[in-house]
Amino acid sequence: MTLPKFILGDHSDHPNAIYVIHTEFPRFIINLENDELEWLEDFDQQDEKELKSEAENAVQQATSFYDSEVAKYKNE
């Protein structure tokens, strides 16, 4: 199965939270309500430098993905 790079998620126990799941390295879930990140990877110190750059870019892409998806719903 090929997964999309980003997946939107929600949960009835957290009605105000909107989650974006990033399925490629570095995999994470971001809660757009409070920008909390949950990493789905284990990192060592060597990875940290590269991770900072990639993570910042991926979080920006996740936010842009969400904005794009919401715009599609508004235009329907």
Give residue-wise pLDDT tens across range 41-67: 887 777 777 777 777 888 899 999 999
pLDDT of residue 9: 95
Give me the mean pLDDT over the 28-38 stretch: 92
Neighbours of 69 (CB within 10 A): 14
Find where tokens 């998620």 sit: 9
Computed from CA positions of residues 66, 25, 40, 43, in that sequence, does the dihedral angle turn out positive or negative?
A: negative
Q: How far apart are CA 29 and CA 9, in angstroms?
A: 9
22 band by pLDDT with thresholds 50, 70 and 90: very high
Q: In the structure encoding, which two tokens stand for residue 22, read together?
A: 């990033």
Q: How confident is the model at residue 32 (pLDDT cuts 50, 70, 90)?
A: very high
8 Å CB contact between 55 and 42: no
